[in-house]
Amino acid sequence: MTGLHVDPLDALRLSAGSQRPRRLRRTAALRDLVRETTLAPDDLVSPFFVVPGHGMRNQVSSMPGVSQLSVDLLSDEVRELESLGIKAVLLFGIPSAKDPLGVESYAEDGVVQQAIRVLKDATPELVVMTDVCMCEYTDHGHCGLLDADGYVLNDETLEVLGRIAVSHGEAGADVVSPSGMIDGMVGAIRAALDAEGLERVAVLSYAVKYASAFYGPFRDAAEGAPAFGDRRSHQMDPANAREALREASLDVDQGADALMVKPALGYLDIVRAVRERFPELPLAAYNVSGEYAMVKAAAANGWLDERAVVLEVLTGIRRAGADLIVTYHAKDAAAWLQEHS
């Protein structure tokens, strides 16, 4: 407190004291009232890895709590998500057989196509999104057709991506999500869908996808690790930000209905930049497998409070500018959010 003699510095501190942001943090109700960023179950998209067969539930060892599921187990799982307020899933398929051309990716009775039909039957309100890429379906594990040197061919791959998207749309998918960072993929898919009368199917483009080491656990889950080489000839260099805006802009021009940035946590500046450059388009961010695995591992060791950290991470991604978050924490987070309210 001030004494009789107030020196000039104390006087300054006193006048600064009229600005006290802590006033609005004093009670939980005040904090709720002035919170800038919301997080709700319907902001979350839950990914699934669908495998052939019956009664299959294969734990993914590097992603505790995540399993590959066969189609017959999928609908119960998804009904549970719906009861928690989650409105969307993103499907990845693990085919019964892989080959250099990834032909099962667009088979009418492929594992994802079956899963879409089952889900549209069991939970018609659910938004079914599908990953559109070749890497889970090719025996070499690359995202497209290869030339003799193992380089991912661009324009030849576009035709296959169009076929995959059409097969998903015909099965009933609401949204297709090309993830291969193949130049022209959004335009090719849009044209292929429209040519088959599938104008209703939306394209959520993985517009900005980095060649990230955080995808490691996903490759166990999706069994899509490249047999040789890496994905740096098509995915973006983690050091680049301006290029992200170029990628997003190309996809907007080609008719993307929504954009995605992947991964999320190391790239929140990119989420913000894309949000600001394209305010009119919904933006998704993918809270990827490695980000999930880090939290799960630390929590399992008792080093972090999982619930608090997950909600903080997801709120941070929303605050950076994402409307939607694809996350393996979706079910847990939705349950925690329901307890909150």
Catalytic residues: 209, 262
Q: Which one of the spans 139-147, 170-178, 185-193, 256-264 is the region binding Zn ion (CB under 5 A)?
A: 139-147
Q: Which of 182/324 has CB closer to Zn ion?
A: 182
- Please count the CA atoms within 13 angstroms of the CA of 180 that sit on its side-chain side: 35
3 state SS of 340: helix
Q: Examine residue 133 and tell whether it contacts Zn ion (CB under 5 A).
A: yes
Helix (H, G, I), strand (E, B) or coil at 44: strand
Closest distance of CB 157 from Zn ion, Å? 10
Kindly indicate which of the ranges 23-31, 48-56, 122-130, 180-188 contains the residues binding Zn ion, using the contact rule CB under 5 A. 180-188
3-state secondary structure of 208: strand
**Cβ distance to Zn ion smaller for residue 128 or 133:** 133
Alpha carbon distance 295, 307 (integer Å)? 10
The nearest distance, CB 273 to Zn ion, in angstroms, is 24
List the beta bridge partners of residue 90: 47, 129
Smallest distance from the beta carbon of 226 to Zn ion, in angstroms? Answer: 9
By CB under 5 A, name the one of 135, 165, 236, 325 that touches Zn ion.
Answer: 135
Residue 242, number of CB atoms within 10 A of its CB: 7
Question: Based on C-alpha coordinates, what's the Rg of the chain?
Answer: 23
How, if at all, do strands 44-51 and 283-287 pair? unpaired
| Contact range with Zn ion by CB under 5 A, out of 23-31, 134-142, 210-218, 251-259 | 134-142
Piece in contact with Zn ion (CB under 5 A), picked from 87-95, 133-141, 251-259, 287-295: 133-141
How many residues belong to the site for Zn ion (CB under 5 A)?
4
Read off the tokens for 149. Answer: 């040197």
Cβ proximity to Zn ion: between 190 and 209 the closer is: 209
Residues 140-169 within binding reach of Zn ion (CB under 5 A)? 143
3-state class of 317 per DSSP?
helix
Alpha-carbon distance of 168 to 273, in angstroms, equals: 31
| Part in contact with Zn ion (CB under 5 A); list of ranges 30-38, 112-120, 178-186, 240-248 | 178-186
C-alpha 69/C-alpha 86 separation (Å) is 18
Inter-axis angle of helices 71-83 and 111-122, nearest 10: 40
Query: Does 263 participate in binding Zn ion (rule CB under 5 A)?
Result: no
The DSSP letter of residue 145 is -
Residue 157 CA to residue 72 CA, distance in Å, equals 31
Q: Give 175 or 182: the residue with its C-beta nearer to Zn ion.
A: 182
CA 152 and chain centroid, separation: 23
Cis amide bond preceding 178, omega within 30: no
CB nearer Zn ion, residue 162 or residue 180: 180
42-81 footprint of Zn ion as x/- string (CB under 5 A): ----------------------------------------
* CB of 125 or CB of 237, closer to Zn ion: 237
C-beta of 180: minimal distance to Zn ion in Å?
5
Among 93, 162, 169, 180, binds Zn ion (CB under 5 A): 180
What are the residues binding Zn ion (CB under 5 A)?
Answer: 133, 135, 143, 180
